């Protein structure tokens, strides 16, 4: 196995040095036979050029092999495949396995960190982890306790580790990381504990910190140039963040960065979103609360911000903006543009010019969204780019301790972190969605470091006057801003999608089904029920000339937190336990990798 890895690397590298380690990773990403990054590629398209499995034969798929992770709770993310080795991760305690694909999945090495279990109750919405990354011959894991570890890909030995945050004040991690050039980009969780959100770049070679950029704070913390960093085409100006908070509330203002990251090598910019402001009680933090709920574009070398776009100023609903930014080059109004498409928790799908941050399209991707009528698109209006909030569904309208009912979507959004896919063949986006509404009652809360800082009670339920289910899987046109087709699901679709050159889209369901759909029509072509509910992301690879499709099953995450943590109070899990109570009738806890292939 060591020889195989060495030969693979040797074929990809022409010279030596850290910059070439990036060439190594880019070559692996560009090779559809591998799955070298959680998002499929730097553009977050989750598209594979493999077509051995296609819409004509996918109905013949069979289970090729399975692997038990030995861990319960929610299994998000996906395996990686580098050469003849598959790397599989688990939720807490964040075990990593290296499996030999040439030897029936034999375990080459296993890394099991020793973490303080006290981090578990500090994690917001289950003990999930969205997977490992590969770069420079290392497997990089961001543990729940915020320790970032670089493991030797061949042996599993720890090459370096660094602590990114402090769980005693509520800082934890659920996200993967993004290797870019000679750095690895790392986020932080903990908005429900009043932390000050940030992203950090560590040097791949030794784990030393290169830079850190906060989401809220002073200009030097934000890494901005007040005269050059823009918002909707205008300079953000001095103290753009702290001017929009009352007093020092920004110091515990949340805006964490626990989602996905993308990268444009040509523009040399990374893109990501910041999360909700703290606390969930909007009356305690008057102002726009910049730069929470914001799409950010930054230089990966020094972290300096080029542009921001705040989607939900003064968030009153916990509509985190951390969902993936999908990068495409498409024609719009007769001109080829470099676009960024983002499906936000708030129920609006945004298309922006990723060079400048210009807002081009903003439309609802679930017709039940009611908290805002629309996003103002007139650039001459002082409301340009802002959602037009419906007073009836403002959680601040009647002050604290008043329940606002019938808000759509619920706090977990029309889509949470479960990533969408894009097919350059159909030019459609394939989006797993939640079809869920809520009642929301804020209350006054005091900040204590390391203690929950939420300040709201929620209940969730299926969107009324609809198909009765809690989810849809949709195809979306990001230029027209409209749904092309929609598949109703009984529960939220909490699995990441995969589109392939075989004209197929794969996704998983909370009951545990892996489904294959015709990319053009939405027709269901195949389904198979795995041992537990699926909140993982579908991936594909080839080995010895044969294409495989793999998915982690293991119910959990925010939607499945009741099952994962054994909760029964309907208001627990920030309202999800009651909303998804029926899920226990269809699935149970698990932790398993299922790999599919066509019969020989």
- Give 508's strand partners: 514
Q: Name the residue with tokens 């990251």.
A: 261
Please list, residue by residue across 360-371, b when 16 or more beta carbons sit within 10 angstroms of its beta carbon and e when fewer do: bbbbbbbebbbb
The 3-state DSSP class for residue 575 equals helix
d(CA 497, CA 508): 8
* Nearest alpha-carbon partner for 355 in 291, 309, 419, 423: 309
Burial class (CB in 10 A: 0-12, 13-18, 19+), 86: buried
Q: Name the residue with tokens 């993982």.
A: 536
CB atoms within 10 A of CB 162: 18
d(CA 474, CA 299): 33
| Residue 145 among the catalytic residues | no
Radius of gyration of the chain (CA): 22
Please list, residue by residue across 452-463, b when 16 or more beta carbons sit within 10 angstroms of its beta carbon and e when fewer do: bbbbbbbbbebb
Contact partners, residue 585, CB within 8 Å, separation at least 6 = none
d(CA 584, CA 367): 28
CA distances from 433 to 259, 408, 445 (A): 16, 13, 31
d(CA 197, CA 191): 7
- Give 271's strand partners: 262, 297
**Does a cis peptide bond (omega within 30 degrees of 0) precede residue 260?**
no
Catalytic residue chosen out of the listed positions 41, 126, 182, 318: 318
**Is the separation of the CB atoms in 587 and 533 below 8 Å?**
yes
On the CB side of 297, how many CA atoms lie within 13 Å of its CA? Answer: 26
The residues that are catalytic are 318
């Amino acid at each position: 196995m060591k020889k195989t890895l060495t030969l693979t690397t040797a074929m990809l590298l022409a010279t030596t040095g850290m910059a070439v380690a990036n060439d190594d990773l880019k070559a692996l990403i560009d090779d559809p036979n591998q799955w070298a990054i959680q998002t499929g590629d730097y553009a977050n398209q989750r598209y594979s050029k493999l077509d051995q499995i296609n819409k004509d034969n996918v109905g013949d798929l069979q289970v090729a092999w399975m692997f038990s992770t030995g861990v319960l709770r929610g299994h998000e993310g996906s395996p990686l495949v580098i050469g003849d080795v598959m790397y599989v991760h688990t939720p807490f305690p964040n075990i990593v396995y290296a499996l030999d694909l040439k030897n029936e999945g034999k375990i080459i090495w296993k890394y099991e960190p020793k973490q303080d279990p006290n981090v578990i109750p500090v994690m917001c919405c289950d003990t999930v982890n969205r997977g490992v990354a590969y770069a420079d011959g290392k497997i990089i894991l961001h543990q729940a306790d915020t320790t970032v570890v670089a493991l030797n890909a061949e042996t599993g030995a720890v090459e370096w580790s660094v602590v990114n945050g402090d769980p005693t004040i509520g800082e934890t991690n659920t996200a993967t990381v993004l290797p870019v050039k000679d750095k690895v980009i790392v986020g932080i969780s903990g908005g429900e504990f009043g932390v000050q959100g940030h992203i950090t770049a560590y040097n791949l070679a030794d784990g030393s910190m290169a830079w850190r950029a906060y989401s809220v704070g002073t200009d030097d913390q934000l890494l901005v140039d007040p005269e050059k960093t823009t918002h909707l085409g205008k300079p953000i100006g001095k103290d753009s963040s702290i001017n929009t908070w009352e007093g020092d509330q920004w110091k515990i203002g949340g805006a964490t960065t626990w989602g996905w990251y993308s990268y444009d090598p040509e523009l040399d910019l990374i893109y990501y979103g910041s999360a909700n402001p703290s606390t969930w009680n909007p009356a305690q933090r008057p102002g726009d609360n910049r730069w929470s709920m914001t799409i950010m574009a930054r230089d990966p070398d020094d972290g300096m911000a080029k542009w921001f776009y705040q989607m939900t100023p003064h968030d009153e609903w916990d509509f985190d903006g951390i969902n993936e930014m999908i990068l495409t080059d498409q024609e719009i109004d007769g001109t080829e543009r470099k676009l960024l498409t983002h499906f936000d928790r708030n129920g609006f799908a945004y298309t922006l010019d990723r060079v400048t941050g210009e807002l081009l399209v903003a439309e609802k991707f679930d017709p039940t969204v009611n908290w805002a009528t629309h996003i103002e698109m007139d650039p001459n209006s002082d409301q340009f780019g802002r959602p037009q909030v419906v007073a009836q569904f403002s959680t601040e309208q009647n002050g604290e301790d008043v329940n606002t009912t019938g808000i759509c979507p619920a706090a977990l959004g029309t889509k949470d972190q479960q990533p969408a896919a894009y097919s350059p063949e159909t030019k459609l986006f394939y989006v797993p969605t939640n079809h869920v509404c809520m009642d929301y009652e804020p209350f006054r809360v005091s900040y204590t470091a390391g203690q929950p800082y939420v300040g709201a009670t929620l209940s969730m339920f299926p969107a009324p006057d609809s198909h009765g289910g809690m989810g849809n899987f949709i195809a979306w046109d990001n230029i027209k801003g409209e749904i092309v087709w929609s598949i109703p699901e009984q529960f939220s679709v909490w699995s990441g999608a995969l589109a392939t050159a075989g004209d197929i889209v794969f996704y998983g369901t909370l009951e545990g089904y892996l489904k294959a759909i015709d990319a053009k029509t939405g027709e269901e072509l195949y389904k198979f029920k795995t041992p537990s509910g699926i909140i993982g992301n579908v991936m594909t690879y080839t080995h010895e000339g044969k294409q495989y499709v793999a998915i982690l099953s293991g119910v959990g995450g925010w939607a499945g937190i009741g099952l994962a943590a054994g909760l029964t109070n309907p208001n627990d899990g920030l309202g999800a336990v009651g909303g998804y109570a029926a899920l226990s009738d269809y699935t149970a806890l698990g932790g398993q990798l299922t790999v599919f292939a066509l019969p020989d």
